[in-house]
Structure formats: C-alpha cells, structure tokens
Structure 1
Amino acid sequence: MNDPTSFHHIAVVGAGAVGSWFGAMLARAGHPVVLIGRAAHVEAIRRGGLRLESGAGSEIVAIGADTDIAAVRGAELVLVCVKSPDTEAAARAMAPHLKPGALVLSLQNGVDNAATIARHVAADVAVVPAVVYVATALPAPGTVAHHGRGDLVIGSPDAALQPRLRAVAELFIAAQVPVAVRADVMAELWRKLMLNCAYNAISAIAQQPYGRMAARAEIRALMRAAVEEVVAVARADGQPLVLDECVQAMERLGDAMPAQMSSTAQDLARGKPSEIDHLNGFVARRGEALGVATPVNRALHALVKLIESARTP
C-alpha cells in the first residue's frame, strides 16, 4: 500500500516563474520533479537544465520538463501554478491523468482557485490552497531568477489531511523553502489578496515599482482605501481580517520589495492577459454579492481592463 506521506514523483502544472522556482528548489534537494510549461521553456531545460539565478549566484538544476499535461501521471504531489484565468482549463485537462489519492496544491493568487480545481478532479484527490510569498521572474527560456522571499502557507480544516500536509511542509523545509501549516489558510489567502489589491493594479497602471508607490502619500492613501474595502468584503464573507494589521502589512511590503513590479504590471508590459479579474475584480464582484461597496477596487479593475484591452491581442 502506498504511503500518502511519501512523494516519489512531483509535477508542476504551469511552470512559469513561480512554478519553476519551487520546482527547482525541490529538484536541487534530490526530488524527482517534472515542470509542465510552454515549449520554449521546456526545450531550453531539456537542452541544458534549468538555470537558477539568485543573490547567491547561478547554478544549473537537473529537472524534468514537458509540454504535455499528461506528465502529471503518477505524481503523488502536483503543484498548480497556472494563472487564475487558466485554472478551470488546467483542472479539466489534468483530471483524467491524476493518480488516485494525489495531493494537489494550488500555488496561485486569488481565493477561489482550489475550489475550482476540486470541482473537476476525482473525489479522492485532495486539493489544498497555498499562499505564496516569493518574487521571481523568467528572464529567458530555461532560466528562473529569484529576487526575494520564497515561503508558503498551506492548510485545510480537514483533520484527516494533517499528516500529509505536515509531510509536504517537511519536504519543502528540507529543500530550504519555509512552510507554515495553518487551518485558517483562507484568512491568509484573503490577506494575500488584500496585498495584491493594494499594489498590483496601481503598479500596472503607472508601470512603477512598489517603492515609488509607497513613497507618495496620495498613493498610500489610495492603497489604504483599497485595503479597507477588501477587509470589509472579507469580514462580510466570514473572514475576520483586522484592518490595522492589514494596513501595516501593506506598508511593510513597499519597504521590503521597493524594486518589485507587480505581476499585473509585468503582464501588461508584455501584452499578456492579467489576473486582475481574480484580484480587484473578484473583490468588486464579491462585494456586490454581499452588499459591500467597493468603488476603489472597482475603479482599479476597470482601468486595468481598459489598458489590457489596448495591449493584448
């Protein structure tokens, strides 16, 4: 009988910057990992391995790579790292290939991706949300660059899953990736959503890094207004976020990552669709459903969508 706390094969679905970095950390610790991603990235990895760049220097990590979603077959642990708009399609595509009893971690922005995945996979596949705190980029195919942090929060209220989640945490910690296991992971997801709603759209609209945003009092006031709305919607949705704590976290992020451009800013600069519908747009929709006004988040969402419509094919 298979040990549900052992992971002999790990697959990363959506091996962009985030997925490639976490996959690289596990692979360099000796675990068999396959990255499932775009053709150019996969071909470069197959030719010369995955180049991992960080403040400590540059190294080549031996790791599997494939363009076919069927490469999840046999994996006990699957990390889903696709953009939120692609979650449903990815879940449908991988569902027929998932190993019975597999554990799927959603390493994605937003608060509803794990539930979306769970709707499409078999009942015996456990789907767990993970909150990701890492600054990464793909400067070229076959290369992932690490710019800061690199930790996870995972969790589930299901008591039966706790031994497996502890095993996942031990797996990552041994690979130098800090992991906290918390039953209230949904509250942590909302806190991450709050930070994304404060920074992502404004960084994208202005094409400015976090430090320059935080340096301007009027922008800090705008960010605080967005945070206040997210906290109000979260509370109405049953997540008791504390406003003062959220504002402090918002202020710390600008100081901690002054040179960081938001993922939404990077998407718009490259003419790619963003995740804004699952960030400020989600808050606006959820607020409307719960009777909570969200004019700031609604405006930020609308402005990003306007820019996006002009830049994406």
Structure 2
Amino acid sequence: MEITRVSIVGMGSLGLIFGSFLYDKLGSDYVEFIIDKERAQITDYGHRIINGKSYDFKVVSGEGVSKSQLIIFAVKSTSLESAIETVRKSVDESTTIISLMNGISSEKILGEAFGMDKILFATAEGMDPIRTERSLNYINMGYVFIGTDKEDENKRNRLNDLIRLFERTEFPYKVEKDVMHRLWSKFMLNVGVNQVIMMHEGTFETIQKEGPERDMMIKAMREVIALAEKEGIRVSEKDLEFYVGLVDSLNPRGMPSMRYDGLHRIKSEVEMFAGTVIEYGRKHNVPTPINQKIYDTIKLIESKY
C-alpha cells in the first residue's frame, strides 16, 4: 500500500521536527496531528514556528477522524496510555505504527493495544532542538532508524511501504538489520544524557565538557551495557564511544526533552530510564548504583513541584 498520508501523535520536539519536514514534502492536507478533545478546543493549537517558518498544522480529534495509513507516536511515556485511547478510532487492519519514543518498551505496549502485526520498530537520533511553547529551532534534524522484530511477509510489506515513503520525501532514515541493538543503544544514550542534564539543570554543554557530570553520564551508560548483555543484546564500549561522540556534536545550547520537563515542573520519564535500569538490575542481580542515585535525586526534585 502506498502511504500518502501521515498521522502524528505528539507535538513535542520530535513530532514537530519530522512533522514539519513531511508537511513541506507532502503538503498540508497529507500530514495531520491527532490530539485529544481538550487540546482541540484551544484556538490555533496547530500553529507553530519552526526554524523561523510559520506552520498551521492540521489537527484532528474525536469521532470524525479518518483511518490512518501511518501513525507516528512521538509522545512522552507518561502520556502513552492516553495517546493510545486518543488514536484508537484511527486504527484499522491496514494501519502501520511506529514509535519514536524513548526507552525500550513502547512497541510492546502499542502491540498490546493494536496488535504487533501493525508495529514496526524505530528510533530517532541526532536532534538538538531548542523549544518554547509554540516555537522550535534546531540545527541538526537527526535521522530515524527503522526495522522489524521478525521476518514475515506482512512486516516486510509494511517496512517496504515505509521505505518508499521515506525515499519519495527524502526523509532522513536508515534501515537497521539488528533493530533491538539500536533501540538498546539509544536507551543507553538517553539513560546517560537526558537524566544527568536534568539533574544538573544544564544543556548539552553540561556533559560535553570533562567533569563529574560527564563521568556520571558514562557510568550510567555502562550499567545499561551490562544489562543488555544479560538480555542477549550486544551493546559495547564501541557503541558507547560512538554515542558520546554524537552528543559532543550537538548544539551546546540545546537540551533533551527531560530537561524541558524539569524547567516546566512536569513529572519526567525517570521511571522509563533509571526505573527500567533498576528493574532489569534486580532481574539479573546486577548492581546499578549510578542509576539508583539518579533515580533518587530526580524523584526528590520532582517531590518539590
């Protein structure tokens, strides 16, 4: 099936970066943001300024939504359950779903809601957004890795449909043969970068320079490497070095979404990051003291909101 329309859930940094790109390539009628009824009541909710360009995105909600060909989830883990209910009426048997969410669990949750036969695996890397409520600026757009969890005709067809869309629009993507390795590697990156920057109320510059913050980031990432090995996923020191290099290339003034949560006194994704590491540590009897310290510190910060 040729994918001609794209539905996006989430108007945060990732949703806006990739949504605006597809809007420019496909046209305003073929990219929509699915939002809940409460947000649909806000005047001009779809208006955003991205890298200085004005966009009036199509937003849809409620009973009148059409069935989606491709749904891209770009919400925080704390909003996933409500987002699933928001899009439920947009999904039918032909709908393909990808998640650009952080962590290693969203595909399983989406599969339980809609069927794993509809789910392709994806992860986004290399973005450096600076965002306000209605505007966003970035230097590096990043790219999306895509792949499947198993080889069968249905998954191959869905992946090929997605590749054709990305090729047609010159979307920045790469097909990943070992997509679980990529998801765990990105998880390792987020566990180190996102949490340490939030803890220290900083920007990417905080962990780009030598010092205790950078040391903590690397130690937190190494705890993920140890757990990935126990899960049969080969994440290595070479992967760590690659991702540290990637972070060092980002705009020093940029910051991850978790830092924006702290700035706006919103509960963060610490459960999905340090909480998941601690959970896997208990499962495999592997100590995770750095992530425990991060978890306790962020929970203390959030208790004061």
**TM norm structure 1:** 0.86
Q: Which residue of 2 aligns with 1:33?
A: 31
Of 257, 265, 269, 2:263 maps to 269
2:207 to 196, 209, 213: 213
Aligned twin of 1:198? 192
User: Tell me, which stretches of 5 or more residues in structure 1 are unaligned?
Assistant: none
1:287 counterpart = 2:281? yes
Match of 2:142 in 1: 150
Q: Rate the CA distance shift 1:33–1:248 in 2: closer, same or farther, 3 A.
A: closer
Closer/same/farther in 2, CA of residues 61 and 262 from structure 1, 3 Å limit = closer
Matched, 1:89 2:89: no
Distance (whole Å) between structure 2 residues aligned to residue 72 and residue 112 of structure 1: 27
String of CA shifts for 1:29-59, please: whole Å, max 9, x gaps.
125011124738963255xx54321xxxx32
Show the counterpart of 1:260.
254
Q: Distance in 1 between matches of 2:174 and 2:289?
A: 34
SS in 2 for 1:256: coil
Match of 2:50 in 1: 52
SS in 1 for 2:132: strand
Report if the CA contact (8 A) 1:196-1:279 is conserved: yes
Give the direction of change, closer, same or farther, for the CA distance of 1:252–1:285 in structure 2 (3 Å limit). same
Q: Which amino acid aligns with 2:284?
A: L
Q: Give secondary structure in 2 for the equivalent of 1:275.
A: coil
CA separation of 1:276 and 1:74: change in aligned 2, threshold 3 A:
same
In structure 1, the residue matched to 2:11 is: 15
Which residue number corresponds to residue 231 of structure 1? 225
Contact 1:16–1:37, Cα closer than 8 Å, also in 2: no
CA shift, 1:239, in A, is 0.7
| 1:43 aligned counterpart, secondary structure | coil
The one-letter code of the counterpart of 2:289 is: P
Do the aligned residues in 1 keep the contact of 2:198 with 2:258 (CA within 8 Å)? yes
CA contact (8 A) 1:166 1:181 kept: no
**Corresponding position of 1:75:** 68
Three-state SS of the structure 2 residue aligned to 1:140 is: coil
Give the partner amino acid of 2:70: L
Partner of 1:110, secondary structure, is coil
Q: CA 1:88–1:11 in 2, change beyond 3 Å: closer, same or farther? A: same
CA distance in 2, matches of 1:41, 1:185: 39
Q: Which residue of 2 aligns with 1:113?
A: 106
Which stretch has the larger CA shift, 81-90 or 244-253?
A: 244-253
Q: Distance in 1 between matches of 2:65 and 2:146?
A: 21
* Change beyond 3 A, Cα 1:40–1:126: closer
Distance 1:108 1:42 in 2: 25
Distance change in 2, residues 1:158/1:71 (3 Å): farther
Give the deviation of 1:158 after TM superposition: 2.9
**RMSD of aligned alpha carbons:** 2.3
Counterpart of 1:81, as a letter, is: A
Question: Over residues 47-74 of structure 1, what are the superposed CA-to-partner deviations in whole Å (9 max), with x where a residue is unaligned?
Answer: xx54321xxxx323453113x2656531
Q: Secondary structure at the match of 2:278?
A: helix
CA distance in 1, matches of 2:269, 2:256: 11
CA displacement at 1:219 relative to structure 2: 2.7
In structure 1, the partner of 2:159 is: 165
Q: What is the deviation of 1:93?
A: 3.9
The share of aligned pairs that are identical, in percent, is: 22
Q: Distance in 1 between matches of 2:19 and 2:63?
A: 17
State the Cα deviation string for residues 70-103 of structure 1 (Å, max 9, x = none). 5653111001111112223322442343122200
